[in-house]
Amino acid sequence: MAEIQSLARGLKMMELIALAEGGMGITELAEQIGVDKSTASRLMGTLATYGFAEQDATTRRYRLGPKVVTLSRYLLTRMPLREQAKPFLHRLVDRTGEGAHLAILAQGGALYIDQVESPATLRATTGVGTIAPLHCTALGKALMTFGNLPQPQQMKAFTARTIVDADTLRVHLEQTRRQGYAVDDEEYEYGVRCVAVPVYDYRGKVVGAIGVSGPAGRMSLERVPEIARIVMEVGKDLSDRLSFR
């Protein structure tokens, strides 16, 4: 009785319809959750009346409702870190010409909570709300290394460069720690390189990470150290800013 069944089922349904391309039907939902059609129908009806889901007028299939978008905004706008970091993201874009991102640790991954896009036509953008793995993204590595987190047990390979061996990663992170910044060299997505550093709050605790990412063509390996210098500098400024108050 620790968990309220019908609420849990409703939440599971939200996750299911979120992932399903083009919405989901009641029957399929009922099967996935393991309940009767009628139960699923009523649960979805409740979600719909509160705006968390909506039913397509023609296909009768359910998809997520606008309420989740508004709630997400409430959450994001109430994050002090996000507010404080915004100008520094802009500074990163101005100085590097690449897209800048801010992430925090959530759900065992790096949750992107803000971004400023590159003005270039060809740009690497990871949408706000993405949860990226820790072991193969610059932001994730920064969070993991400087936040002293244990390495993930499972390390999925996304590209041929993804580090999947625990020992290799350990060595890699030791170097990351020494140099003070993390790099993702096409380990998560082909053709995209990232550089990131941790962000500390007033008590020296890692509260997030910021970094830039761009197409490998512009973000050449020779240019990475230069980018890293900028990211470290801006990251330090942001952490300094967070020291006050």
Partner DNA sequence: CCGATTGTTGGGAATTATACAACTACCTGT
Partner DNA sequence: ACAGGTAGTTGTATAATTCCCAACAATCGG
| Sites of contact with DNA (CB under 7 A) | 1-7, 9, 25-28, 34-39, 41-45, 55, 58-61
Q: How far is CA 138 from the centre of its chain?
A: 11
Backbone angles phi, psi at 213, to 5 degrees: -140, 145
Segment contacting its own copies (CB under 8 A): 8-16, 145-153, 160-168, 231-239? 8-16
Q: What DSSP line would sit under 56-123, residue for residue?
A: -TTT--EEE-THHHHHHHHHHHT-HHHHHHHHHHHHHHHHHSSEEEEEEEETTEEEEEEEE--SSSS-
Residue 58 binding its own copies, by CB under 8 A: no
- The least CB distance from residue 91 to its own copies, in Å, is 11
Residue showing tokens 């399929």: 28
Residue 154 is given by DSSP the state -
Nearest-Å Rg of the Cα atoms of the chain is 21
Residue 15 interacting entry, from DNA, its own copies, none, C-beta within 5 to 8 Å by type: its own copies
At closest approach, how far in Å is the CB of 126 from DNA?
A: 33
Build a one-symbol-per-residue string for 25-44: x at contacts with its own copies by CB under 8 A, - elsewhere. -----------------xx-
- Which residues of this protein are in contact with its own copies, per CB under 8 A? 1-12, 14-15, 18-19, 21, 42-43, 45-47, 49-52, 63-64, 66-78, 106-107, 111, 113, 116-117, 119, 127-131
